[in-house]
Structure 1
Amino acid sequence: MVIAVCSGSFDPVTYGHLDIIARSARIFDKVIVAVLINSKKKSLFSVEERVELLRQATAGMENVEIDSFEGLLIEYMQKRGARVIVRGLRAVSDFEYEMQVASINKKLDEEVETFFMMTNNKYSYLSSSIVKEVASYKASVSDLVPPVVEKALKEKLGQ
C-alpha cells in the first residue's frame, strides 16, 4: 500500500487544495492530509477548525484521512508509514522553494519521494491568503472555497 501525505497549513482549505487532494487520491492507495501545527504562524482558523473543515470538504473521498502534526514532516511520515509527499505547484516560483524542501527531505530520509503535481489552471492564482483577503472585504468567495469554508469565513470575520 502506497501512503502519500499532503501537508500544509490549509488556512483555509481552498478548491485548489481539494483539486490536488482528489487527484492524489486517484493515484495513491491512501492520502493523509496533514495540517501543520506552527505556533510561530498567526492563523485565522485553529488547527482543530482547519482539521474539521478539511474533514467536511473531503467527506466523499474514501481513501483520504485528515490529521495534524507538529515538527518535521519526515518524522511524521515515518510514524505513519508514508513514503510519498504530494506537493501542488502553481507557478515556477513555487517549484524553486519546493525543490529545496524536497532536497532536504530526501537528505533526511532517502526512502521518501516527493511527487509534484501541477495545479489545475483555473486554480493557478488561488491561495489561502487571497481567499482571506477577499473574504475580509465581504466579497464572495463561493467559487474559491467549499460552502462549509465560506460559512466559517463569514462567521470568523463577523459577517
Structure 2
Amino acid sequence: MTPISSKRIAVFPGTFDPFTLGHMSIVSRGLELLDEVVIAIGINDSKRTYFTVEQRLEMLRDLFRDNPRIRVVSYDSLTIDLAKQWNARFILRGIRSVNDFEYEKTIADVNRKLSGVETIILFTEPELTHISSTIVRELLRFGHSVDEFVPKGLKLV
C-alpha cells in the first residue's frame, strides 16, 4: 500500500479545452487551501476537442511555468487512479450551477466510496459563471477574440 502524503495535494481534472478564467479562479483559490494542485487533462476519445492534448499541455505548462506548486499532466484513466499515482488526497472541482452540483455530488460520493479520496468543491465566482470552455471554443471557431474569457498569459497555440 502506498503511504499517504502529509502534503495536501489535489488533482484538478478536466478537459480544459481551453483553460478559462473560471478554471484559473478554482486553481488560485484551491492553492489557498492546498499545498499542490495537479491540473489533469483528461483524454476522452468521445469528445471532439478544439486543441490537441499536446497543445493543452503546452499552454498550461507555459502558463504555470513559474509556479512550483502546480503540475500539469494528461491522463486516460479514472481520476481516483491518477490521484493515487500523485499521492493526492483530494479532487478539486468547481461548480457553476445546480446542475453541476448534482453531477459533481454523485461523482464525489462514488470516488470517496471507492478510494477514500475526498472532493473539494469551490463555487464559481458570480462574475465568472457565464464563462465555459464550450462558449470559448465557439468564439474561437468563428474568429472572435476570447481575451476576456481566458487568463492573461495563456498563449492559445
Same fold (TM over 0.5): yes
- What is the deviation of 1:121? 1.4
Q: Secondary structure at the match of 1:95?
A: helix
Check conservation: 2:59, 2:156, Cα contact below 8 A.
Answer: no
1:48 and 2:54 aligned:
yes
Contact 2:92/2:121 (8 A) holds in 1: yes
Match of 1:157 in 2: none
- Pick closer, same or farther for the CA change 1:127–1:26 going to 2, 3 Å: same
Structure 1: which 5+ runs fail to align? 153-159
- Does residue 1:87 correspond to 2:89, yes or no? no
Matched residue type, 1:9: T
Per-residue CA deviation, residues 51-74 of structure 1 (Å, 9 max, x unaligned), is 111112223433111111111111
In 2 relative to 1, CA 143–150 (structure 1 residues): closer, same or farther, beyond 3 Å?
farther
Q: Separation in 1 of the partners of 2:42 and 2:60?
A: 13
Q: Matches of 2:131 and 2:66 in 1, distance apart?
A: 23
* Counterpart pick for 1:139 among 139, 144, 147: 144
- Structure 1 residue runs of 4+, over 4 Å off? 147-151
What CA distance in whole angstroms lies between the structure 1 residues aligned with 2:149 and 2:74?
23
Structure 1 residues 53 and 151: CA distance shift in structure 2, 3 A: closer
Aligned CA RMSD, in angstroms, stands at 1.5
Q: Partners in 2 of 1:58 and 1:15 — Cα distance?
A: 14
C-alpha displacement of 1:98: 0.5
* The 10-residue stretch of structure 1 (87-96 or 132-141) with the greater mean CA deviation from structure 2: 132-141
For normalisation by structure 1, the TM-score amounts to 0.88
**Alignment length (residue pairs):** 151
The answer as to whether partners of 2:59 and 2:155 remain within 8 angstroms in 1 is: no
Report if aligned partners of 2:21, 2:128 keep a CA contact under 8 Å in 1: yes
1:151/1:54 CA distance change after superposition, 3 Å: closer
Residues 40-119 of structure 1 aligned to structure 2 (within 5 Å)? 40-109=46-115, 111-119=116-124
Q: Which amino acid letter does the alignment assign opposite residue 45 of structure 1?
A: F
